Amino acid sequence: MSKTIPKILIFDAMWNKTLAAVRSLGKRGFHLIVGEKTRFATALFSRYCSRRVVYPSPLSTPDKFLDWLLQEVKANNYDMLLPTELETQRLILKNRKEFEKHTRIPFADHELISNVQNKAWLMRYAEAHGYPCPKTYFVKDVDFFSYDLLEYPVVIKPTESSGSRGLAYVDRPLDFFKTLKIVDKKYPYPLIQEYIPNGGAYGVGALFNSNSEPRAAFVYKRLREYPVTGGPSTLRESVRNDEIKEIALSLLKSLKWVGVAMVEFRVDPRDNKPKLMEINPRFWGSLQLAILSGVDFPYLLYRMAMDGDVEPVWDYKVGVRCRWLIPGDMLHFLSNLKRLQITSDFFTMANGDDIISASDPMPIVGRVSSLLTFLFDRDMRRLIFR
């Protein structure tokens, strides 16, 4: 009897994390249908795509996307749906009952994902349950916010955004209200947080089963970011840090988490305590590092979706480095005022790259071509500047 080849529909081919998942599962011989709203997307150029699809935009035409997806899952026997971007994930999860008649969606429910993506909700939860986080002030009315108790510098940030989008740093009271109103105009009711000096930025990738029991964890340190002041990591290294790992797992377990997530921390050098920054309720940008280090989250998620559970994975290689060279690390280097101090390290080869691969070379062509999409496509600009 021939063995059935797993068949997965993967969305959001523009992103590095999607390419990491495609390569992980493709190397295992999976039948992968990979899609994006444009043909010029990084992962669509991978040799591991069995079929490439261009679908209606989940962002600007959600009803058309849902109609397309329902027909797609009815016509094909997919083992699992794998969205990797928040907008796609939320839209699918909001309609999961209809789609789960035909396939599997191994993620937490829509309400929980929406809650943790909201930084105001998450910070209130962390404070109420004793998890370390920056001192946070919640703005109800920008014109009547009492700023006299603030200790500068402070950070003004949107309640919902990713990376460094919408972040503003204020060093003195004189600039506070002007900056607050600028952020509030685009991102209503932002947060105000104490500034945490950078004593080290860490991420904890995790996988939880349907009973909210941890089944895998991976800790890494962010060595470079773009923008330099804080954003997606461009160089990272696998590390051991049991304190940060246990805080992350405890937090996710208390939330009754299911599926994958990445919890981000910044160590405060003033007290050497890790402070919670955010939870990414899906695959994260540096997913390739976890796979290189020995924690294959995409495959583990698939096995959990099919079998209901997996054997725990706690061990991985430490000291592995992976970078996002084009364009992330290049932009970091060019914009870093201290670039001369990192020149030697910058030109030292990492163990791997998010995109560049000798065995799967074409995605770098896809990345370069996708730059045109970011320049001229309104939806992609909305994703970048959300």
CATH of domain 7-105: 3.40.50.720
Contacts with 211 (C-beta within 8 Å, 6 or more apart), sequence order: none
Nearest to 233 by CA among 289, 195, 298, 156: 289
Please list the alpha-helical segments (H only) found in 143-226. Answer: 176-186
Please tell me the predicted confidence (pLDDT) of residue 147: 73
Answer for the pair 341, 244: CB distance below 8 angstroms, yes or no.
no
Whether 7-105 and 135-194 share one fold: the answer is no
Residue 227: count other Cβ atoms within 10 Å of its Cβ: 14
Q: How far apart are CA 21 and CA 46, in angstroms?
A: 11
Q: How far apart are CA 248 and CA 116, in angstroms?
A: 13
* CA 104 to each of CA 80, 99, 253: distance values in angstroms, whole numbers, following the listed order: 5, 8, 22
CATH of domain 135-194: 3.30.1490.20
Nearest to 49 by CA among 58, 57, 39: 39
Please tell me the predicted confidence (pLDDT) of residue 159: 92
Residue count of the chain? 386
Give the SS3 label for residue 210: coil
Q: How far apart are CA 8 and CA 216, in angstroms?
A: 22
| Burial group, residue 245, by CB count within 10 angstroms (0-12, 13-18, 19+) | buried
Query: Can you give the pTM of this predicted structure?
Result: 0.93
How far, in whole angstroms, is CA 254 from its chain's centroid? Answer: 21
Please tell me the predicted confidence (pLDDT) of residue 386: 45
In order, the DSSP letters of 254-293 are HTT--EEEEEEEEEETTTTEEEEEEEE-S--TTHHHHHHH
Please tell me the predicted confidence (pLDDT) of residue 143: 73
pLDDT in tens, 97-130: 999 999 999 999 999 999 999 999 999 999 999 9
For the chain, the domains span 7-105, 135-194, 201-355
Q: How far apart are CA 375 and CA 211, in angstroms?
A: 43
Please tell me the predicted confidence (pLDDT) of residue 378: 61
Task: Please determine, looking at this structure, whether the domain spanning 201-355 carries the CATH number 1.10.10.10.
Answer: no
Please tell me the predicted confidence (pLDDT) of residue 140: 84
Please tell me the predicted confidence (pLDDT) of residue 284: 97
Please list the alpha-helical segments (H only) found in the chain. Answer: 16-26, 62-75, 86-94, 96-99, 110-117, 119-129, 176-186, 242-254, 287-293, 297-307, 330-335, 339-346, 363-376, 378-384
* CA 364 to each of CA 21, 215, 273, 382: distance values in angstroms, whole numbers, following the listed order: 16, 33, 39, 23
Contacts with 159 (C-beta within 8 Å, 6 or more apart), sequence order: 118, 119, 120, 121, 187, 189, 190, 191
* Low-confidence spans in the chain with pLDDT less than 50: 1-2, 383-386
Please tell me the predicted confidence (pLDDT) of residue 340: 82
Q: How far apart are CA 10 and CA 4, in angstroms?
A: 19
In order, the DSSP letters of 39-88 are S--GGGGSTT-SEEEE---TTT-HHHHHHHHHHHHHHS--SEEE--SHHH
